[in-house]
Structure 1
Amino acid sequence: MNTDPQTAGPPVALVTGGLRGIGRAIVDRLHAQGFVGAVVDLADTEAGTTGGRLPDGFRYYTLDIARVEDHEAAVERIVADFGRIDTLVNNAGIAVRPPTDILDVAPADFDRSLSVNLRGTFFLTQAVARHMICRSSPHYRSIVSINSMASHIASFDRAQYAISKAAIGKMTQLYAARLAGDGIHVHEVKPGFIRTPMTAGAATRIDDIVREAVPQQRWGTPEDVAQAVVTLATGGLPYTTGESVWVAGGVTIPQVR
């Protein structure tokens, strides 16, 4: 393979859950930085393929990441279409709707959360990492998982989500240690209170929390998260791997009022 970055083509990204919200902001920001690649999501086909809704160079692929048995075929198709994958962004995830007390969580709901947020993410990362190892690239290579502040706090009415996200931190460390020798950097980004359609229903309640608990006293935006992801994906922190990058306006700073 040609290893000259000027002639080998642009870097290739795979973004899960990339049709809306934080995922779409990441896709747009990657495109602005010269990336092409794949967007995988569960949304309807029209949203992903018509009307020029994805930026030039990005293609939509339908994939339920909970279906681990479909991962290898999906990754092989993307590699066949683009030649390789330089960056994987694990953004897809499901929240708890409605919030449920930890004493009332049903096994099926627990399993569904972990099947997407943890199991699906773990095995898709495995599939992509295997392809990365087998193919050289002139570009910086990275895996970035979108975590959540829920992994850091005790939200007893979102137990299965918090547990699944807490495990992403350990997954990040494990893959970072395993892949460092192959020149693949692995990171996680932990957003705080981000204004998206997913948080719109609780916006009024969360407004008060943001003013009280966030030193910057504002909501974050999908673009804030996307900027952090692209910084990591393009090698902006080259001597960093296996670490958490918070995008949360300082919410983790202990405060005495």
Structure 2
Amino acid sequence: MNKVALVTGGQRGIGFGISEALAGEGYKIALLAQCGSGDPEVADALERLGPDASFFSHDLLNIDGHAAVVEQVENRLGPITTFVSNAGVPAKARGDMLDLEPDNFDFTLGVNLRGAFFLAQNVARRMLKQSCDSYRSMTFVTSVSAGMVSIERAEYCLSKAGASMMAKLFAARLAPHGIGVFEIRPGIIETAMTRAVKDKYTPQIEDGLVPSARWGQPSDIASAVVPIAEGRMAFATGSVINVDGGLSIPRL
């Protein structure tokens, strides 16, 4: 059985954790990112993932190029059976939402919502044309910020809330065809992206911000993606899975 996973932003952080876990389950991995093939993170990821991993350079903002890069992936590796929409950008600058600039708003939503939607649309179209026996799935990695307010990152929260609805829409559209679609909402995950705020969040986590009293790891997210990809949660399509150590549990 040929299992192919396309993971956006799969060369680092949460994306690499997901890629590594899927590779361990026998998936061919297609890493998709804006950086070039000579990027050190890409080279390291490919070396660690082994010969069944490939890299494809593509900018999510380049919507006109989505169809071509999806075709390149399938020409090289075979039909995509698992799609993980993980790549995203943070707010360009944190600050008062009343001072948010339109360009910063447009950039964040352009990548996290517009670009992500149209790439997923292209993948879904290809999946519907497949004649394979493998279970097919799509997983949208959003954030607890899809439902929790951060007024200093308004555009990021809006993009993730939109991505949450995007996952539901794809789930409803693709369910009759046996394609499972899920949303995973990570909490505070220890990656290179969060390194700058580690000193800020560590004492808060230890003081109870996260009930599990620890940082999340990329492997925590990956542990939720694998059963989705393997079809072990097929009838739960459309579900939202919080992987946040209890951060999003409403408390007094």
Normalised TM-score (structure 1) = 0.93
1:199 alignment partner, SS class: helix
1:5 is matched with: none
Deviation at 1:49, TM superposition (A): 4.7
* Partner of residue 178 from structure 1, selected from 168, 173, 196: 173
User: Could you tell me how far apart the structure 2 residues matched to 1:204 and 1:158 are?
Assistant: 19
Question: What residue in structure 1 maps to residue 238 of structure 2?
Answer: 242
Structure-1 residue corresponding to 2:67: 72
1:47-126 mapped onto 2 (5 Å cutoff):
47=40, 48-49=42-43, 52-126=47-121
Shift of residue 88 of structure 1? 0.5
Aligned residue for 1:171, secondary structure, equals helix
Q: How many residues were matched structurally?
A: 248
Contact 1:86 1:142 in 2 (8 A): yes
Which contiguous aligned blocks of 4+ residues in structure 1 show a shift greater than 6 angstroms? Answer: none
The answer to whether structure 1 residue 36 and structure 2 residue 28 are counterparts is yes
Q: Aligned partners of 2:161, 2:17: CA distance in 1, in Å?
A: 24
TM-score when scaled to structure 2?
0.94
Alpha-carbon distance in structure 2 between the residues aligned to 1:42 and 1:207: 30
Larger deviation, residues 166-175 vs 203-212 = 203-212
3-state DSSP class of the match of 1:60?
A: strand
| 8 A Cα contact 1:49 1:60, kept in partner | no
Say if 2:215 is the partner of 1:223: no
Q: Residue 134 of structure 1 is aligned with which of 109, 129, 133?
A: 129
Provide structure 1 residue ranges, at least 5 long, that are not aligned to the other structure.
1-8
Alpha-carbon RMSD across the aligned residues, in angstroms, is 1.4
Deviation at residue 245 of structure 1 after TM alignment = 0.4
Spell out, residue by residue over 1:104-150, the C-alpha distance to the aligned partner (whole angstroms, 9 max, x if none). Answer: 11111111101100001100010000000001222111000100011
Gaps of 5+ in 2: none
1:255 maps to 2:247: no
Asked whether the 8 Å contact 1:169–1:188 carries over to 2, the reply is yes
Counterpart for residue 4 of structure 1: none
1:137-156 paired onto structure 2 within 5 Å: 137-156=132-151
Deviates further, 244-253 or 43-52: 43-52
Q: Is the 8 A contact 1:141 1:184 kept in 2?
A: yes
- Cα deviations by residue, 1:64-100 (Å, 9 ceiling, x for unpaired): 0111001000011111112201010001000013312
Q: Is the 8 A contact 2:144 2:248 kept in 1?
A: no
Match of 1:214 in 2: 210
2: CA distance between counterparts of 1:15 and 1:30? 10
Larger helix percent? 2
* Equivalent residue number for residue 196 of structure 1: 191
Answer yes or no: is 1:45 the counterpart of 2:37.
yes
Measure how far apart 1:55 and its partner are.
2.6
Residues 151-192 of structure 1: per-residue CA shift (max 9 Å, x gap): 111101101110000011111111101101111000010001
Is this contact kept in 2: 1:194–1:222, CA < 8 A?
Answer: yes
Partner of 2:3: 11
Q: Which amino acid aligns with 1:224?
A: D
Distance 1:55 1:164 in 2: 34
Report deviation, 1:25: 0.8
Q: For residue 24 of structure 1, what is the aligned residue in structure 2? A: 16
Structure 1 letter corresponding to 2:179: I
